[in-house]
Amino acid sequence: MKINWNTAAYQFSQQGKAYVIVTLIGVTGSTPRSSGTKMVISLDEVFDTIGGGHLEHKIIKRARELLQKGITCQHLEHFHLGIHLDQCCGGSANILFECFSANKVNIMVFGAGHVGQALLPILASLPCQITWVDERTTQFPEDSLIFDNVTRVISQHPEAEVSMMPANSYYIVLSHKHQMDFDICQQIFLRDDFTYLGLIGSETKWRRFSRRFILNNIKQELLDKMNCPIGISSVPGKLPAEIAISIASQVIERYRQIDSELVEEVHQGVSWKLIKSQLQLNQTENANVLKKRSKQDVSLRTPK
């Protein structure tokens, strides 16, 4: 089924995939579509159209150049259909490119018990991709199928699923067995490339686990990165929903911290100076079009 630009944007956002919303703004003269027309472009798909032709070809190419940069950004560009693009319309338009980068937060949650079931809807509403692992088929609620950014995995050896995740992933360990928790964490430590690792349990549980990890030659600096008890202390409580909110808060805190470290101290978005210059260009072109039409009208009324 063919989908429109706003449905495509929603689905890409839910799935954490990169895309560009293109908007036709400030049109002058004759153009294929009206101001406000939108389309969505990904690296391999296009949804809706701003009129086709050479203009759309150039816009798709430019949008994919922005996607290749892998950053969220905005870009404004002026196109003259007659002079630059050899289209018969002869008008001109400003094109706003709104580029949304792919989501880089990949989370693997182990355990579909009460806390896991309370946690997943919260995580699914965030800009992340989630892999939910449990060995018990019946533990997954039916409504978990409605989330586009959640993949359910049924595995008799959950620790083996760790190898399927990309580098810099987030791991939340909430299984129903202490030995399973230990085996999962052991595999995560052996990879030595996680961004976040949280383990449900008490401080006593963690002291016992840490001693065993040290005996297994796990480095202390890796153990220091572990969050156990999981969650932030400022959100107390023992109810599944309370624990879930505490865990989600810690995950959000972590990825927002990384975002702030990566953001350069530069001006973001489209500057007012650029917008102003484009508007002035539009006004000039409008004036030229009106002047040309006026001369044509005078020519037609003047007797030969």
DSSP 223-235: HTTEESS-S-TTS
Long-range contacts of 237-242 (CB under 8 A, 24+ apart): 240/114, 240/115, 240/117, 240/118, 241/118
Q: Which fold has domain 106-255?
A: Rossmann fold (3.40.50)
Each domain of the chain, given as residue ranges in start order, spans 7-102, 106-255
Cis peptide before 32 (omega within 30 of 0): no
Residue 75: how many other CB atoms lie within 10 Å: 18
Given the structure tokens 């297994």, which residue do they identify?
Answer: 216
* Cα–Cα dist 133/161, whole Å: 8
Residues 53-102 have pLDDT tens digits of 888 899 999 999 999 988 888 989 888 765 554 554 557 788 899 999 88
- By C-alpha distance, which of 127, 47, 60, 69 is closest to 97? 60
Confidence grade of residue 266 (pLDDT, cut at 50, 70, 90)? very low
pTM of the model: 0.67
Q: How far apart are the first and last CA of the chain?
A: 60
Residues 242-262 have pLDDT tens digits of 999 999 999 999 998 887 765
The neighbouring-strand residues paired with 123 are none
Angle at 252 between CA 246 and CA 256, to 5 degrees: 150
Query: CA 30 → CA 35, 87, 131, distances in Å?
Result: 11, 10, 50
Residue 45: predicted pLDDT: 94
Tokens of 254: 């972590």
Choose between 87 and 153: higher pLDDT: 153
Mean pLDDT, to the nearest integer, of 261-269?
Answer: 53
Residue 92: predicted pLDDT: 77
Half-sphere exposure of 293 (CA within 13 A, CB side): 7
